[in-house]
């Protein structure tokens, strides 16, 4: 199986040591890909040190992807460092370091909060995808994986209107680009994580994870392995899809203590 070996990947939102983005980056490197990682803060260089390999195998960039010119330039620098981008993982978008995220009822959402969530999720995904598509189309090969969520495309949570809307829009964008570029050898897919335990998880989110059919929250690497498959050569006939990684949570009718029903 060729997998992702000797391909160059760019993973956004990889600054957190226990986050999904860095888990994806680690797994791609372990599978033989050259990996560029990015985040909004200098902690990305700490993650770079933790990745195996030398300067020909990995690179890191500090970049605010909401700055479109900076994002496009960063993609060019990643290609200059590691070679043509064959894999793009749009993971940025859950939150941004140093920016407080409000939870509001729909009628309370101010313009700034709405625009911010659309910007860090949908617009960054669009900007990075647009940047890599021409090169992928010329080479007639590409794998794009967008980190959506079950929130928005599948289920809804009160006071998460902006977030859920943005993640649903990412799925719509995924399908649209998949249709347009399928004959160019490019696949575009999404992942819908459920309750995944990371450093940013609240106590309530961990409790919710414990009430899934699996009886626990998911791990970042469990999302990462799905991402590596979608990024692989073997996933050539999978496009325009969203794979849900949620321990069965969205298919269960009862959401109370599992032991009452089994």
Q: Element (H or E) spanning 184, and its range?
A: none
Q: Which residues lie closer than 8 Å to 58 by C-beta, 6 or more apart?
A: 29, 34, 35, 36, 37, 48, 51, 82
DSSP 90-124: E-TTS--TT-PPP-B-GGG--HHHHHHHHIIIIIH
The H or E element that residue 86 is part of is strand 85-90
Query: How far apart, in whole angstroms, are the C-alpha atoms of residue 139 and residue 108?
Result: 47
Structure tokens at 51: 């990745």
Question: And the tokens for 172?
Answer: 């719509």
Given a contact cutoff of 8 angstroms between Cβ atoms, the answer to whether 227 and 89 are in contact is: yes
Residues that are catalytic: 163
Q: How is residue 233 written in tokens? A: 């050569």
The helix/strand/coil state of 144 is strand
Contact 146, 100 (CB under 8 A): no
């Amino acid at each position: 199986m060729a997998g992702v070996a000797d391909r160059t990947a760019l993973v956004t939102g990889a600054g957190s040591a226990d986050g999904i983005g860095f888990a994806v980056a680690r797994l791609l490197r372990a599978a033989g890909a050259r990996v560029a990682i990015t985040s909004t803060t200098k902690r990305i260089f700490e993650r770079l040190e933790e990745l195996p390999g030398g300067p020909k195998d990995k690179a890191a960039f500090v970049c605010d992807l909401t700055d479109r010119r900076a994002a496009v330039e960063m993609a060019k620098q990643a290609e200059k460092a590691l070679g043509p981008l064959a894999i793009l993982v749009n993971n940025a978008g859950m939150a941004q370091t140093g920016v407080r995220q409000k939870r509001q009822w729909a009628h309370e959402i101010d313009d700034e909060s709405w625009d911010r969530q659309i910007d860090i999720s949908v617009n960054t995904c669009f900007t990075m995808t647009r940047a890599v598509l021409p090169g992928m189309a010329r080479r007639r090969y590409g794998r794009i994986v967008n980190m959506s969520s079950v929130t928005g495309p599948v289920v809804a949570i009160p006071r998460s209107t902006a977030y859920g809307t943005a993640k649903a829009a990412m799925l719509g964008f995924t399908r649209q680009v998949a249709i347009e570029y399928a004959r160019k050898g490019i696949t575009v897919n999404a992942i819908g994580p459920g309750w995944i335990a990371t450093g940013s998880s609240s106590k309530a989110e961990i409790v919710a994870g414990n009430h899934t059919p699996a009886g626990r929250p998911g791990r970042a690497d469990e999302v990462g392995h799905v991402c590596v498959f979608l990024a692989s050569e073997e996933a050539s006939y999978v496009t325009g899809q969203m794979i849900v990684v949620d321990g069965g949570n969205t298919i269960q009718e009862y959401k109370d203590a599992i032991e009452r029903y089994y």
